[in-house]
Amino acid sequence: MRIYLRLPLASILALLNLFCYSNVESIAGVNKYLFASATFPTLIVAVGEAPFNNGFFNWLFDIIFPERCSGSWIDFSAEGFNNALKERVYGQPLIGLSNAVQQHWSNNQPAKALLLSMHGPPGTGKNYVSGILIRHLFIKDSKSKFYHLFSGTVHFPHKNQVQTYKDQIQAWVRGNVSICPKSVFVFDEVDKMPATLLDALKPFVDSYQHIDRVDYRRAIFIFLSNSGSDMISRYMLAQKKLGKDRSEVYSKLDDKLPLYLYDESNGPLRKSDLLKHHLVSRFIPFLPLERLHVTECIKDYLKLHYPDWLYGPDFIERVLNKLVFVPEREKFFSSTGCKRVADKVQLQMSIDEMSDKDKRRRRNEL
Ligand SMILES: *[C@@H]1O[C@H](CO)[C@@H](O)[C@H](O)[C@H]1NC(C)=O
């Protein structure tokens, strides 16, 4: 639970507990000793969080303060979001993303719903960035009732049931936006969805004031997909050889990516009405990651999981050598971005451990 929600409650409990030491006999009709023994453990959890699994406290808190569709539960600070991106995302310029969200979220009557389409090779951070965005939109993060995640392979696996899926999506979006206009719908693995499925969203991202009295214009839709990655990678490689920097490449892709998706790609967007009718508010390319970005991911992983471990500089080098870098000759970009980092760190650690044991054994034999 967020600290600023926890603290006020803890302070109230603490004050009431303090009363127990005064001359009063009862608090809110309850004997003061009984009151103190009942509220003190809750106070400890509220302040410390550590002594108990805070699941209980969250549950209690949810009952006392249920999530509502209002400003205290739904918010966005472009500054906070930008700082999080700067600290935790490597090599992705993402110019204009926070502005787009900020403008949309603060506008009471936007012209249409915001539709962000994120494209890029695996492991470049699409899911990661969308997760950071959700954390900055909803106090309850991904547990918010107003956040909905659909995955192409999990929710819509069968090509022959497109019509059923379409009806389902429409019912869900309609139902949820009626409850809260500031709902967010993320569609992951869009490239693995049946081609025409996305057309189900067309009425909701178009500029109608309302449909059957439901106004969809304040909602946010986010697509995550790998389509276009081949083009992004090719373009990035060519520009890198010319010595162009990443933000320059990013800005150029702003125009190139939609044209490519529309003309040449085989992805579902090409056939979708959303693209034909220019309903995507923004295409967000994710660029292939270079050695120095992957290095940062490895460091982050180590810091998170082995905070006290002092590794030598060659450890990171050895992990990097376990990853595949393309193209064959120049080896500029990690073929899996930062995706395989955890596996490779683990692998390298067990290799090191084995060779350490081996050395020790040989030393003992000598
Ligand atoms: C809201 O969306 C979820 C899927 O995330 C769905 O299960 C639920 O039925 C929807 N709610 C309404 C009221 O339609």
Please state the domain extents for the chain.
Answer: 20-64, 78-285, 291-365
Task: Report the atom number in ligand 1 closest to the C-alpha of 148.
Answer: 5
Q: Of 277, 313, 281, which Cα lies nearest the Cα of 298? A: 313
Kind and range of the H or E run holding 236: helix 229-241
Region of poorest pLDDT, from 59-63, 91-95, 182-186, 208-212: 59-63
Give residue 173's pLDDT. 97
Q: Is the pLDDT of residue 144 over 90?
A: yes
Closest residue by CA, ligand 1 atom 6? 172
More confident residue, 40 or 87: 87
What are the pLDDT digits (tens) for 228-277?
999 999 999 999 999 999 999 999 998 899 999 988 877 778 888 898 89
278 C-alpha vs ligand 1 centroid, how far in Å?
27
Cα distances (Å, whole numbers) of residue 195 to 2, 159, 232, 306:
40, 9, 21, 44
Query: By percentage, how much of the chain surpasses pLDDT 70?
Result: 95
| Contact call for residues 201 and 221 (beta carbons, < 8 A) | yes
Q: Is the pLDDT of residue 309 over 70?
A: yes
Binned at pLDDT 50, 70 and 90, residue 2 comes out as low
Give residue 338's pLDDT. 95
CA dist 309 and 302 (Å) reads 8
DSSP string covering 142-156? GG-TTEEEEEHHHH-
Task: Report the atom number in ligand 1 closest to the C-alpha of 172.
Answer: 14
Closest residue by CA, ligand 1 atom 3? 172
Query: Residue written as tokens 């506008």?
Result: 107
Q: Is the pLDDT of residue 325 over 50?
A: yes
Binned at pLDDT 50, 70 and 90, residue 197 comes out as very high
Mutate to test the pocket of ligand 1, among 172, 184, 221 (most ligand atoms within 8 A of CB): 172
Considering the entire predicted model, what is its pTM?
Answer: 0.83
Q: Per-residue pLDDT averaged across 188-210, rounded?
A: 91
Binned at pLDDT 50, 70 and 90, residue 46 comes out as low
Please provide the size of the chain in residues: 366
Binned at pLDDT 50, 70 and 90, residue 293 comes out as very high
Q: Is the pLDDT of residue 7 over 60?
A: yes
Q: Is the pLDDT of residue 356 over 60?
A: yes
Give residue 194's pLDDT. 86
Q: Is the pLDDT of residue 54 over 70?
A: no
Measured from CB, residues less than 6 Å from any atom of ligand 1 are 148, 171-172, 175-176
Mutate to test the pocket of ligand 1, among 143, 149, 174, 176 (most ligand atoms within 8 A of CB): 176
Mean per-residue pLDDT over the chain, rounded: 89
3-state secondary structure of 164: helix
Binned at pLDDT 50, 70 and 90, residue 226 comes out as very high
What are the pLDDT digits (tens) for 88-106?
999 999 999 999 999 999 9
CA dist 34 and 366 (Å) reads 70
283 C-alpha vs ligand 1 centroid, how far in Å?
27
Q: Which of these CATH numbers, 1.10.10.410, 3.40.250.10, 3.40.50.11310, 3.40.50.300, describes 78-285?
A: 3.40.50.300
Q: Is the pLDDT of residue 51 over 60?
A: no
Give residue 45's pLDDT. 64
In eight-state DSSP terms, residue 306 is: -
Binned at pLDDT 50, 70 and 90, residue 50 comes out as very low
What are the pLDDT digits (tens) for 106-116?
999 999 999 99
Query: By percentage, how much of the chain surpasses pLDDT 90?
Result: 66
15 C-alpha vs ligand 1 centroid, how far in Å?
41
Q: Is the pLDDT of residue 1 over 60?
A: no
Q: Of 89, 204, 110, which Cα lies nearest the Cα of 148? A: 204
CA dist 60 and 237 (Å) reads 53
3-state secondary structure of 188: strand
339 C-alpha vs ligand 1 centroid, how far in Å?
31
With vertex at residue 186, the alpha carbon angle to CA 237 and CA 221, rounded to the nearest 5 degrees, is 90
Region of poorest pLDDT, from 32-36, 63-67, 294-298: 32-36
Task: Report the atom number in ligand 1 closest to the C-alpha of 171.
Answer: 14
Task: Report the atom number in ligand 1 closest to the C-alpha of 150.
Answer: 5
Q: Which of 15-24, 29-38, 174-183 has the highest mean pLDDT?
A: 174-183
Task: Report the atom number in ligand 1 closest to the C-alpha of 149.
Answer: 5
CA dist 156 and 265 (Å) reads 21
191 C-alpha vs ligand 1 centroid, how far in Å?
23
> What is the distance between the terminal CA atoms of the chain, rounded to a whole angstrom?
57
Give residue 183's pLDDT. 98
